Chains A and B, each alone.
Chain A
Amino acid sequence: VIDYTADVERAARVLVRAWTVDEKEIEIEADELLAVALQHEIDHLDGKLFIDRISRIKRELYKRKLKKLIKEGKADLERPSAVRI
Chain B
Amino acid sequence: MDVVWHAINRELGAKRSAGLFHSLSGVTAAMHALKYGARYDALVLFDPPVYPREGHPVQYLQQSDKESLASRAARRPERYKDPIDLAKQFARRLKNWVPDAYELMARATLRHDRAHGDYILACPREYEAHVFSSGANPDLWPQMAHCPGAGETRLRRSESRRSDAAGADWPRDGRGVGTSLRSDSRNESFFANRTSRRVHSRGRDFPSRHSDSRRRFRKSTFGSFNFRRLAPFDRFDSYPVIQMALLKIRKFPDDVLKEPAAAVKNINGSVEGLIDSMVQTMYAAPGVGLAAPQVGESKRIIVLDTNHDDPGKHLLKLINPQIVEAEGKLSGKRDVSR
Given A9-B331, A11-B328: A42 and B317 within 8 A (CB)? no
Per the 8 Å Cβ criterion, residues 307-338 of B in contact with A are 316-338
Evaluate contact between B326 and A11: CB separation under 8 angstroms: yes
Evaluate contact between B293 and A47: CB separation under 8 angstroms: yes
Chain A: interface size category: 35 or more
Evaluate contact between B329 and A40: CB separation under 8 angstroms: no
Evaluate contact between A51 and B259: CB separation under 8 angstroms: no
- Among B267, B302, B330, which residue has its beta carbon within 8 angstroms of that of A44? B302
Per the CB 8 Å criterion, the residue count for chain B at the interface is 46
How far is the CB of A35 from the nearest CB of chain B, in Å? 7
Contacts between the two chains (Cβ within 8 Å), count: 152
Evaluate contact between B329 and A45: CB separation under 8 angstroms: no
Evaluate contact between A44 and B335: CB separation under 8 angstroms: no
Is B257 an interface residue when CB atoms closer than 8 A count as contact? yes
Per the 8 Å Cβ criterion, residues 5-54 of A in contact with B are 5-23, 27-28, 33-42, 44-47, 49-51
Cα–Cα distance between A74 and B330 once the two chains are bound (Å): 32
- Among B259, B288, B292, B325, which residue has its beta carbon within 8 angstroms of that of A47? B259
Cβ contacts under 8 Å, B85 to chain A? none
Cβ contacts under 8 Å, A5 to chain B? 334-337
Cα–Cα distance between A42 and B87 once the two chains are bound (Å): 49
Evaluate contact between B319 and A19: CB separation under 8 angstroms: yes
Is B261 an interface residue when CB atoms closer than 8 A count as contact? yes
Evaluate contact between A41 and B267: CB separation under 8 angstroms: no
Is A1 an interface residue when CB atoms closer than 8 A count as contact? yes
Cβ contacts under 8 Å, A12 to chain B? 327-330
Cα–Cα distance between A51 and B272 once the two chains are bound (Å): 30
Evaluate contact between B337 and A1: CB separation under 8 angstroms: yes
Is B43 an interface residue when CB atoms closer than 8 A count as contact? no
Given A18-B319, A80-B338: A2 and B251 within 8 A (CB)? yes
Across the interface, name the chain B residue whose C-beta is closest to A27.
Answer: B324
Across the interface, name the chain B residue whose C-beta is closest to A22.
Answer: B267
A-binding residues in B (CB < 8 A): 251-252, 257-261, 264, 267, 271-272, 275, 288-294, 300, 302, 304, 306, 316-338
* 16 additional contacts (CB under 8 A) given A12-B330, A47-B293: A2-B338, A3-B337, A7-B333, A7-B335, A10-B329, A11-B323, A14-B325, A16-B324, A17-B321, A19-B318, A19-B320, A21-B275, A28-B316, A34-B306, A41-B289, A42-B302
